């Protein structure tokens, strides 16, 4: 298969990026400043990611809601705080499963209007998910379009993102307060929706991301993308913004307990994992029916468990390493990364963003990630992860990087 | 890419500096550039007896962990403890502050079998 390039490929290479193939695209792993500084910039200041390799799918028509409800694990009827239904300008996160309850992909679903939903899925998945939705919606009055090549996205992430965003948007732009996590405003090709760059083009601004930190995903037409990228870099310089590659994106999302599709979730029944908030559980049942629901209900008791772990230092093992409990192999490592913004202080995990971080805090990083094991384990349980090179002691945890900013109140 | 003239090299990208009857060992600028930011270093124990080609240290980056091999047989007599808290010294100064360990060779003549700078330049890609 030909490797695709994003519009910014030449920019990345000109700025010293180490490039690698990911999801069918040639993407930056890190720039000259290196992945450690990039990771820390997102926790303490801001980082900018080219995420135009990701795919977007538009579902519209009288039965658009019905198709999303059939295909997505999250219940649109109850997915907002206090069990409220999704409304225009709000987004939610869920899985797309097959009949066996295995993950095809995960998606952020953005409700643009009553009969119009935008799904953001992973790189290279536009065609697969579009085909899946068309098949599921054969009996419905709905259209499904792959917008992947008609829409570009970048991620501005980190606590300084709000100040940077305000510099690049026209003051009249309508980001009504409060603008909570998983809400969005504006549109990628309708100027009348009222969110515009100071350079005149329209932007859709969404308070979402893949780092666990405060920030935005910005959607624009491809012809405006390079301009927006440069505009944000210029505006962010005074705040310590760094362009960031997929290396930092992976370590940040791991520390934030977010799964990577086709690695931490994938071709196995989607149960017994840290992301049950994406399934419509209520009192041991599902609040709606969806593709794969019966398989999940049947699989529940016996399926392997996916759990998060935290190491004692920066030592990592390779994905696929063995998980050992009391000398017995019980599973494999799905993801192992080092969160370079955290370390142990008197046995407690502390982040660069923690209010209780010591004045001279210089974290050396902790290994962390996800394992898939053949039975449930208690929080705090000690395990050994073993690859061909080394064995590292880790413990089972329910959270990794503390004091993440994704949900902070904004605008202040 | 720097390849200092006064050092010896291995095909696994270690450099060796002869200091009297001892050999100081690190990884080359090329090696660190392939690994990107180093996050962790596992050093050998002082007093360890090693054979040529033994895995004696692990340098770990954001991307991957890589073994560092003993260039000759001998005894580890000193390790760079400063790397434990500051592994980035290997990225910043691979031929200086980023040294890994000092080995007392079992046979001082073994170092002559290692590559010189010209030969090492021949095995790394041109910039």
Residue B1: inside a domain: no
Q: Enumerate the residues of chain A whose CB falls inside 8 A of the CB of residue B40.
A: 313-316, 338, 364-365
- Model pLDDT for residues A324-370, shown as the tens digit of each residue: 999 999 999 999 999 999 999 999 999 999 999 999 999 999 999 99
E runs forming strands in A255-327: 281-282, 285-286, 305-311, 322-325
Of B37, B64, B85, the CB nearest to A35: B37
pLDDT at A321 > cutoff 70: yes
Does residue B3 form part of some domain? no
Q: Could you give the CA distance from residue B31 to residue B37 in angstroms, rounded to a whole number?
A: 11
Q: Check CB contact of B62 with chain A, cutoff 8 Å.
A: yes
Q: Quote the radius of gyration of chain B (alpha carbons, Å).
A: 13
pLDDT recorded at residue B127 = 59
Query: Distance (Å, rounded) from C-alpha B39 to C-alpha B30?
Result: 17
A322-325 and A328-339 beta bridge pairing: antiparallel
CATH annotation of A257-397: 2.40.30.110
Chain A segment 235-274 residues within 8 A of B by beta carbon are: 247, 251
Is pLDDT at A82 greater than 90 in this prediction?
Answer: no
- Examine residue B127 and state whether it is found in any structural domain, yes or no: no
Dist. CA A336–CA A412, nearest whole Å:
36
Is 90 exceeded by the pLDDT of residue B48?
A: yes
Shortest CA gap B88–chain A (Å): 10
What are the φ and ψ backbone dihedral angles of A65, each rounded to 5 degrees? Answer: -60, -40
Region A272-284: what's the mean pLDDT? 94
What digits encode the pLDDT tens for the residues A207-245?
999 999 999 999 999 999 999 999 999 999 999 999 999
Provide the pLDDT confidence category of residue B63 given band limits of 50, 70 and 90.
Answer: confident
Closest CA to A368 of A395, A332, A350, A403: A395
Evaluate whether the domain defined by A55-146 bears CATH number 3.30.70.1400: yes
Q: What tens digit of pLDDT does each residue of A67-81 get? A: 999 999 999 999 998
Query: Which residues in chain B are contacts of A313 at CB distance < 8 A?
Result: 40
B109 and chain A: CB distance < 8 Å anywhere? no
Q: What is the number of other CB atoms lying within 10 angstroms of the CB of residue A77?
A: 15
Residue-level pLDDT at A284: 87
Q: What is the mean pLDDT of residues A294-314?
A: 93
Q: With pLDDT > 90 as the criterion, what percentage of chain B qualifies?
A: 88
Summarize pLDDT for A373-383 with one digit per residue, the tens.
Answer: 999 999 999 99
User: Is-contact A280 A286, C-beta < 8 A?
Assistant: yes
Under an 8 A CB cutoff, do B36 and A313 touch? no
SS3 A94: strand
> Per the domain annotation, does B2 fall within a domain?
no
- What range defines the domain where residue B61 resides? 8-121
Of A250, A353, A264, A263, the C-alpha closest to A308 is A264
pLDDT computed for residue B42 by the predictor: 94
List all residues 6 or more positions away from A125 whose beta carbon is below 8 Å from its beta carbon.
A23, A55, A104, A105, A261
pLDDT range class, residue A46, cuts 50, 70, 90: very high
Residue A37 has pLDDT above 90, yes or no: yes
Domain residue ranges in chain A: 4-51+150-253, 55-146, 257-397
Q: Which of B39, B64, B91 sits opposite A314 (nearest CB)?
A: B39
Among residues A124, A126, A120, which one has the least CA distance to residue A72? A120
Question: Domain count of chain B?
Answer: 1
| pLDDT score, position A192 | 65
Higher pLDDT, A83 or A256: A256
Residue B87 covered by a domain: yes
DSSP for chain B, please give it: ----TT-EE-TTSEEEEEETTEEEEEE-HHHHHHH-SEEEEEPPPTT-EE-TT-EEEEEEESS-EEEEE-SSSEEEEEE-THHHH-THHHHH-TTTTT--EEEEESSGGGGGGSB-HHHHHTTSPP-
Q: Which residue of B has its CA nearest to A313?
A: B40
pLDDT at A194: 80
A348's tokens: 């407690």
Residues of A in contact with B91 (CB under 8 A): 34
Which pLDDT score, from 0 to 100, does residue A411 have? 84
Task: Quote ipTM for the complex.
Answer: 0.83
- The answer to whether residue B126 sits within a structural domain is no
Pairing, β A4-5 against β A25-30:
parallel
Nearest to A138 by CA among A55, A71, A56, A57: A71
Residues near B69 by beta carbon (within 8 Å), at least 6 away in sequence: B10, B12, B14, B52, B53, B54, B55, B56
Position B120 scores a pLDDT of: 97
A 23-42 residues with CB < 8 A to B:
29-30, 34-37
CB contact under 8 A, A314 and B40: yes
What are the pLDDT digits (tens) for A191-216? 666 899 999 999 999 999 999 999 99
Q: How far apart are CA A31 and CA A217, in angstroms?
A: 20
Which of A247, A340, A390 minimises the CB distance to B63? A247
C-alpha distance from residue A280 to each of A35, A109, A133 (Å) = 36, 15, 20
Count contacts between A and B (CB, < 8 Å). Answer: 55
Pairwise CB contact (< 8 Å): B39 & A251: no
Q: Which residues of A touch B56 (CB under 8 A)?
A: none
Distance, CA of A53 to chain centre: 14
Q: How high is the pLDDT of residue A1?
A: 66
* Among A33, A246, A364, A369, the residue to mutate for chain B (most B Cβ within 10 A): A364
Contact across the interface for B63 and A29, Cβ inside 8 Å: yes
Region at A47 (left for phi over 0; alpha for psi -120 to 50; beta for the rest): beta
Architecture of domain A4-51+150-253: 2-Layer Sandwich (3.30)
List all residues 6 or more positions away from A140 whose beta carbon is below 8 Å from its beta carbon: A61, A63, A66, A67
Average pLDDT over residues B50-56: 96
Distance from CA of A221 to the nearest CA of B (A): 33
Mean predicted confidence (pLDDT) in A282-304: 92
**pLDDT tens digit sequence for A132-176:** 999 999 999 999 999 988 999 999 999 999 999 999 999 877 787
Residue A172 has what pLDDT?
76
CA distance A247 to chain B (A): 7
Give me chain A's average pLDDT, please.
95
A268: pLDDT confidence band, cut at 50, 70 and 90?
very high
With 70 as the cut, is the pLDDT of residue A260 above it? Answer: yes
- Put simply, the answer to whether A315 touches B60 (Cβ < 8 Å) is yes
Q: What is the CATH number of the domain that holds B110?
A: 2.40.50.100
């Amino acid at each position: 298969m030909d490797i695709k390039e994003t519009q910014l490929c030449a920019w990345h290479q000109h700025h010293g990026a180490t490039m690698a193939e990911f999801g069918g695209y040639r993407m930056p792993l890190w720039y000259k400043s290196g992945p450690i500084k990039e990771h820390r910039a997102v926790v303490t200041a801001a980082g900018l990611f080219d995420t135009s390799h990701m795919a977007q799918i538009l579902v519209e028509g009288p039965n658009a809601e019905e198709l999303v409800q059939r295909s997505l694990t999250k219940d649109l009827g109850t997915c907002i705080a206090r069990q409220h239904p999704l409304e225009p300008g709000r987004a939610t996160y869920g899985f797309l499963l097959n009949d066996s309850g295995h993950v095809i992909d995960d998606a952020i679903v953005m409700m643009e209007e009553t009969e119009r939903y935008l799904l953001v899925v992973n790189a290279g998945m536009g065609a697969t998910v579009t085909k899946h939705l068309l098949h599921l919606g054969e009996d419905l009055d709905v259209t499904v379009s792959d917008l992947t090549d008609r829409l570009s996205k970048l991620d501005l992430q980190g606590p300084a993102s709000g100040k940077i965003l305000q510099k690049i948007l026209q003051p009249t732009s309508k980001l009504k307060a409060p603008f909570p996590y998983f809400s969005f405003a504006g549109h990628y090709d309708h100027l009348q929706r009222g969110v515009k760059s100071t350079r005149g083009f329209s932007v859709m601004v969404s308070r979402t991301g893949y780092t666990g930190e405060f920030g935005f995903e910005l959607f624009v037409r491809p012809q405006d993308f390079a301009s927006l990228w440069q505009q944000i870099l210029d505006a962010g310089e005074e705040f310590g913004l760094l362009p960031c590659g997929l290396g930092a994106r992976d370590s940040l999302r791991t520390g934030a307990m977010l799964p990577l599709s086709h690695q931490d979730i994938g071709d196995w029944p989607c149960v017994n994992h840290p992301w049950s908030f994406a399934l419509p559980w209520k009192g041991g049942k599902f609040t709606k029916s969806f593709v794969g629901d019966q398989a999940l209900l049947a699989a529940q008791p016996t399926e392997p468990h996916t759990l998060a772990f935290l190491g004692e230092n920066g030592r990592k093992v390779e994905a696929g390493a063995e998980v050992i409990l009391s000398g017995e192999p019980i599973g494999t490592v799905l993801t192992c990364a080092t969160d370079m913004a955290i370390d142990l202080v008197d046995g407690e995990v502390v982040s660069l963003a923690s209010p209780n971080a010591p004045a001279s805090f210089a974290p050396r990083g902790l290994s962390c990630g996800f394992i898939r094991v053949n039975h449930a384990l208690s929080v705090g349980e000690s395990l050994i992860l073993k690859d061909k090179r080394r064995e590292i002691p880790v413990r089972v945890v329910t959270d990794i990087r503390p004091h993440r900013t994704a949900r902070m109140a904004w605008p202040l | 890419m720097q390849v200092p003239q006064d050092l010896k090299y291995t095909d696994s990208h270690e450099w060796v500096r002869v200091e009297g009857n001892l050999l100081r060992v690190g990884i080359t600028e090329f090696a660190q550039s392939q690994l990107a930011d180093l996050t962790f270093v596992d050093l050998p124990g002082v007093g360890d007896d090693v054979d040529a080609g033994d895995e004696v240290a692990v340098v770990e980056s954001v991307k991957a962990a890589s073994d560092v091999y003993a260039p000759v047989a001998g005894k580890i007599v000193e390790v760079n403890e400063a790397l434990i808290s500051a592994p980035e010294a290997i990225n910043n100064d691979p031929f200086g502050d980023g040294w890994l360990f000092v080995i007392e060779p079992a046979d001082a003549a073994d170092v002559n079998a290692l590559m010189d700078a010209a030969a090492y330049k021949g095995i790394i890609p041109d910039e």
